[in-house]
Amino acid sequence: MRSRHLFALALLLWPAGANAQGASPAKPASPQAAPATKPAAAAPPAPTPKNAEQPATADAPPGTAEADAAEAARNAEKPGPSIRLEDAIRLALENNERALKAPLRVQTAEGQLDRARTAFYPSLVAGGSGVWRATEDRAGNNITTSGTVTLSQPILAPSAFPQYSQSSHQLESEKWGAAQDKRQLAFDTAKSYLQVLTAERVLEAANRRVDRARQNLADAEARGSAQLTSTNDATRSRIDLATALSQVAQAEGSMQKTRLQLEFLMGKKLEGGLAAPDRTTASAERYGGTPAATLSAAIDRRPDVRSSHERTEALRASAREPLYRLIPSVNAQGQMRILPAPLATEKALDETVTLNLTWTIFDAAARYADRKTRLAQANSQALDEQLLKRSVETDVKIAIVALRTARQSYTIANDALVSAQKNVEETEILYRQGLAKALEVTDANSKRFDAEVNRATAKLQMEQAYLDLRNALGFGPIDDDNSNAGAR
């Protein structure tokens, strides 16, 4: 009977207390229930986690200017200067071995081109010899010395032309390939950057749930001490708090792993917080391009397509080289021979000029075997190039569909989070009025956390889909970089 009277009294007095407190969620127990609670049983104020939002902005609707301002304020409060997406990509291109190795590929191809160019240049060779004889010659010398200087100039070297063409195309292919390697590293860094931000948002949501669980536990213990509710409400609140703490631990582990991955790509330890890529997010939300308008430009813009085309041309030039062996080669040679101590019948200086023509009429069909092998390699590479060009259209269309789907999911997740926040507020008010059970409060908090995680995940998927679209179109990951991403 006593508990019934206390419960009825609380129902009569509660609205005034609720209006005085503004019916805000997760507030301490009402003043009417406080006298019935022993001072020793009162729960201490729950500490605010370091990543928790401030109460003034905790319930700001997502996707609004207030929510964006709150997120920017949280990033500003983190220790150290905020790193932008552009800074992370720049550090990766400066420190990562994948970026440092790309120019070496170009240098290797340049050396091969220089080597192919030598087939057109003359060569100058100097030589000397000395002969000792046991018997003296007519001049009374046992040692005879001589020196030669030979100048050779290729006049016609048929095989050198396709070899030079092959090396030229191979150099261009390596240049475009190096640009593609750097571009892919930039996209990998950008995606890792977004994953770190998402992990931080999930951790903040988990910390907010811990905050609510602690305050709900304090409420349940206070109401249980006043015999307004069953002690089972406090037990359920403790279970909810344990679940929330477990989610914080998991979120912290995920955030640390994503930060380590980003540090690996950047080649530098990550200090401070990350600035939200607002331009990328805004562009992902408003993009409205069509595949037909961007497909042809994407094929010409993408470095991997350009690299594949140059590789095909290099192999085609290599396949033509065996046929050039049917043409004879012509070489001119001039030689000067010097004898320091000539005999009476010898000249001290002897000069000769030679014109050599070499024609391999039959080489056991080696040239035709080489032609067959190289032609098959060139045709295979041509098919790879054709497949890559066809895949560009598919990549662009898939990326556009994925972006549209992700945007719809993000909009739905925003609406679901607003409803989940409202559900938490209403359920906590009903619980304090005795019209809801602790299980409903726990369920509301769990659904709000799930909604926050779903929103963070949907935002990540939308941003990653936009990056995939830019990658398919041949652009760089930075939204304002609409120049040729493969510029060398």
Convert the pLDDT of each residue in 371-421 to its tens digit: 999 999 999 999 999 999 999 989 998 999 999 999 999 999 999 999 999
Residues 207, 277 within the same domain: yes
Q: Residue 275 has what pLDDT?
A: 92
CATH number, domain of 356, equals: 2.20.200
Cβ(352)–Cβ(149) under 8 Å?
Answer: no
Q: Per the domain annotation, does 479 fall within a domain?
A: no
Between 295 and 323, the higher pLDDT residue: 323
Confidence band of 141 (pLDDT split at 50, 70, 90): confident
Residues 84, 182 within the same domain: yes
Range of the domain at 218: 2-118+172-325+364-473
Q: Residue 80 has what pLDDT?
A: 53
HSE-CB of 199 using CA atoms within 13 angstroms: 22
Residues 344, 459 within the same domain: no
Question: Which among 434, 431, 429 has a CA at the least distance from the CA of 4?
Answer: 434
Q: Per the domain annotation, does 488 fall within a domain?
A: no
Q: Per the domain annotation, does 187 fall within a domain?
A: yes
Please report, rounded to a whole number, the percentage of residues in the chain having pLDDT higher than 90. 57
Cβ(401)–Cβ(472) under 8 Å?
Answer: no
Q: Per the domain annotation, does 484 fall within a domain?
A: no
Parallel/antiparallel/unpaired status of strands 123-132 and 143-156? antiparallel
Residues 109, 198 within the same domain: yes
Between 188 and 212, the higher pLDDT residue: 188
Q: Per the domain annotation, does 18 fall within a domain?
A: yes
Mean pLDDT over 259-268 rounds to 95
Q: Per the domain annotation, does 481 fall within a domain?
A: no
**Residues 6+ positions from 205 with CB-CB distance below 8 Å:** 251, 449, 452, 453, 456
Confidence band of 296 (pLDDT split at 50, 70, 90): confident
Alpha helices by DSSP H, listed for 341-365, are none
Q: Which residues of 252-268 are buried (b: 16+ CB within 10 A; e: fewer)?
A: bebbeebbebbbebbbb
**Residues paired with 129 in a beta bridge:** 146
Q: Of 301, 336, 362, which residue constitutes the final position of a domain?
A: 362
Where residue 351 falls (left for φ over 0; alpha for ψ -120 to 50; beta otherwise) is beta
In whole angstroms, give the CA distance from residue 23 to residue 200. Answer: 29
In whole angstroms, give the CA distance from residue 110 to residue 461. Answer: 41
Q: Per the domain annotation, does 162 fall within a domain?
A: no
Domain count of the chain? 2
Between 235 and 418, the higher pLDDT residue: 418
User: Strand, helix or coil at 274?
Assistant: strand
Confidence band of 67 (pLDDT split at 50, 70, 90): low
Cβ(41)–Cβ(222) under 8 Å?
Answer: yes
Task: Give the global pTM.
Answer: 0.75
Residues 310, 230 within the same domain: yes
Residues 127, 22 within the same domain: no
First-to-final CA distance of the chain: 85
Q: Residue 414 has what pLDDT?
A: 93
Question: Which among 478, 481, 276, 475 has a CA at the least distance from the CA of 395?
Answer: 475
Residues 236, 110 within the same domain: yes
Q: Of 345, 362, 379, which residue constitutes the final position of a domain?
A: 362
Token look-up 């018997």 returns 135
Residues 211, 303 within the same domain: yes
Question: Which among 360, 369, 373 has a CA at the least distance from the CA of 325?
Answer: 360
Residues 462, 332 within the same domain: no
CATH number, domain of 418, equals: 1.20.1600.10
Q: Residue 374 has what pLDDT?
A: 96
In whole angstroms, give the CA distance from residue 365 to residue 370. Answer: 9
Report whether pLDDT(429) > 50: yes
Mean pLDDT over 109-119 rounds to 95
Residues 355, 371 within the same domain: no
Confidence band of 305 (pLDDT split at 50, 70, 90): very high
Residues 266, 356 within the same domain: no
Q: Per the domain annotation, does 486 fall within a domain?
A: no
User: Strand, helix or coil at 339?
Assistant: coil
Residues 12, 69 within the same domain: yes
Q: Of 338, 362, 386, which residue constitutes the final position of a domain?
A: 362
